[in-house]
Chain A
């Protein structure tokens, strides 16, 4: 069994929104028709996007940290949005686990969006059907493209390689290794939807230095537990201690 998914490294994401624009560009130009854009250059631009980058701040200034958080359909292994669909327009592909909407069957009742806790389905106000991330299903299997391009548009666009794409059921795939070794986690695990997309947490590279590492353990003059400090004009043996 295959479950294609994205792994998003929040440690690397800089919040540039290149994934948002490339996603919109690819998916508004496809055979499924344009993604609606209302007042794109007006005062309150709004439209349908499959992917959005949000920004969160943890803590209070000055002890705060900013995190950019790209959010798109998580292609849950147990998608709550699929069984509620009355027409079967919403479905999960058996062969690769991608959750899709058949735009020709959708009646636009919006019930699936109510059943998704993540708010990743967006209604198209022009076509009056529900739309969502397709994991660029019209791209990743397109044999007319070079193999390097057979990846979701957002993954190709990311300048910092914060987005990985692959099969999370294959234990040796890049995404599985990243999830396993870099602490990949799922969003809102409390609902049991088992999201396929995972996020890698922000990590800080820290070096732990113990006190004894700052002193020479074999300091021969360490009688009073203090380093004999040389005067500024005196010569030292190692720039730290002296006779």
Chain B
């Protein structure tokens, strides 16, 4: 497939945003149970502003993917069958809840909802946090299922796609949270960096697993099934278009095999190995953590590019030779 930069930016930006939201609310939950010192409302509130900025940037990027962005509202209608439609609903819902979560912290609007028997007070921010967490995971699933549900694209058609979107977004978000905490609440950076290391290791394992799986895939369709002729040697002599067509532009990445082979170790190094090294070195060093987030973000852009480029669409069987 041809990687579209709008979608690459959308998926990486909202992945980081969802991860950061999960990181912030994980901290708040730990603090609620007294496992960590509760931070000021500003810590969670300003963190949520970063979440919203990333989500908005992703949303803007997504519009560049549409031929008719002014009709984007229509995309919410087919949620019964289309994962893309579900994503279109869940993304603004998550944005809205994240916004309310931020408002509840920044303006101290935290009315008590219920008091648990143990004396634990469940306030509005906590309820919004739980809803936001569910929506963050729902959004990961929707985004990944857009690709994983296409059974013709065998490289994507796997539960690993969903797992990896969750893990890579989580990794990105927790590293950003570690960087944010190192600047805003330095004594809490260790907590986020520790989780970031665990999630990044899991993400590396998941992505490596999908790379190994994809390397062993055998195409289901062949030129024989494509045109229905049983002959071991079939060559296309003409594709029916001289100057290319939508089919030659949309489904080929247009780069050499050598480029593809270079991108793979690049994203593994930038997206997983280097961030892990930097996290281990600078558990609470803002500069190193910031560098880790930026390097990993570049690595994840490369990872997403590779994710699209690696998928081989069966329609390509019909478009081999201009003739």
Query: Is residue A149 contacting chain B, with contact meaning CB distance below 8 A?
Result: no
Select the stretch in A50-58, A165-173, A221-229 that faces chain B: A50-58
| Cα distance A82–B147 in the bound complex, in angstroms | 15
Q: Is the CB of B152 within 8 A of A123?
A: no
| Cα distance A109–B146 in the bound complex, in angstroms | 12
Query: B71-103 toward A: CB 8 Å interface, digit per residue (1/0)?
Result: 110111110011111001000000000000000
Most A-side CB within 10 Å, residue of B67, B233, B236: B67
Q: Is the CB of B237 within 8 A of A199?
A: no
Which residue of B is nearest A58, CB measured?
Answer: B231
Query: Is residue B300 contacting chain A, with contact meaning CB distance below 8 A?
Result: no
Query: Is residue B185 contacting chain A, with contact meaning CB distance below 8 A?
Result: no
Q: Is the CB of A119 within 8 A of B251?
A: yes
- Closest chain B CB from A65 CB (angstroms): 8
Chain B 221-237 interface residues, beta-carbon cutoff 8 Å to A: 221, 223, 225-229, 231, 233-237
Q: Tell me the dominant secondary structure on chain A's binding face.
A: loop
Query: Is residue B208 contacting chain A, with contact meaning CB distance below 8 A?
Result: no
| Cα distance A80–B151 in the bound complex, in angstroms | 9
Q: Is the CB of B315 within 8 A of A84?
A: no
| Cα distance A157–B67 in the bound complex, in angstroms | 33
Q: Is the CB of B319 within 8 A of A129?
A: no
Q: Is the CB of A53 within 8 A of B152?
A: no
Query: A50-77 toward B: CB 8 Å interface, digit per residue (1/0)?
Result: 0011111111100000110101000000
Most B-side CB within 10 Å, residue of A17, A47, A87, A121: A87
Query: Is residue B298 contacting chain A, with contact meaning CB distance below 8 A?
Result: no
Q: Is the CB of A87 within 8 A of B77?
A: yes
| Known contacts A46-B241, A54-B236; A86 and B88 CB within 8 A of each other | yes
Q: Is the CB of B236 within 8 A of A107?
A: no
Which residue of A is nearest B70, CB measured?
Answer: A107
Which residue of B is nearest A128, CB measured?
Answer: B67
Q: Is the CB of A44 within 8 A of B242?
A: yes
| Known contacts A107-B67, A107-B68; A87 and B152 CB within 8 A of each other | no
| Cα distance A160–B314 in the bound complex, in angstroms | 30
Q: Is the CB of A49 within 8 A of B1?
A: no
Query: Is residue A190 contacting chain B, with contact meaning CB distance below 8 A?
Result: yes
Query: Is residue A105 contacting chain B, with contact meaning CB distance below 8 A?
Result: yes
- Closest chain B CB from A190 CB (angstroms): 5
Query: Is residue A122 contacting chain B, with contact meaning CB distance below 8 A?
Result: yes
Query: Is residue B150 contacting chain A, with contact meaning CB distance below 8 A?
Result: yes
| Known contacts A46-B244, A122-B246; A114 and B150 CB within 8 A of each other | yes
| Known contacts A52-B241, A53-B240, A128-B68; A85 and B234 CB within 8 A of each other | no
Q: Is the CB of A105 within 8 A of B71?
A: yes
- Closest chain B CB from A117 CB (angstroms): 4
Q: Is the CB of B313 within 8 A of A114?
A: yes
Q: Is the CB of B250 within 8 A of A55?
A: no
Query: Is residue A232 contacting chain B, with contact meaning CB distance below 8 A?
Result: no
Query: Is residue A88 contacting chain B, with contact meaning CB distance below 8 A?
Result: yes
Please name all residues of chain B whose beta carbon is closer than 8 Å to the beta carbon of A26 when the two chains form the complex. none
| Cα distance A128–B227 in the bound complex, in angstroms | 30
| Cα distance A191–B220 in the bound complex, in angstroms | 9
- With beta carbons under 8 angstroms apart, the residue of B67, B150, B245 that contacts A109 is B67
Q: Is the CB of A190 within 8 A of B81?
A: no
- Closest chain A CB from B241 CB (angstroms): 6
Select the stretch in A133-141, A181-189, A205-213, A233-241 that faces chain B: A181-189
Query: A78-108 toward B: CB 8 Å interface, digit per residue (1/0)?
Result: 0010111111110000000000000001111
Offer 11 A-B interface pairs, CB within 8 angstroms, sorted by A: A46-B241, A48-B245, A86-B75, A86-B85, A87-B85, A111-B84, A117-B315, A122-B245, A127-B67, A187-B225, A190-B225
What is the interface of chain A, defined by CB distance below 8 A to chain B?
17, 20, 38-39, 42-49, 52-60, 66-67, 69, 71, 80, 82-89, 105-111, 113-119, 121-123, 125, 127-129, 185-191, 199, 201-202
What is the interface of chain B, defined by CB distance below 8 A to chain A?
1, 65-69, 71-72, 74-78, 81-85, 88, 146, 149-153, 220-221, 223, 225-229, 231, 233-247, 250-251, 313-316, 318-319, 323
The 9 closest A-B pairs by CB, nearest first: A108-B67, A119-B315, A128-B67, A52-B240, A44-B243, A86-B85, A83-B81, A86-B75, A87-B74
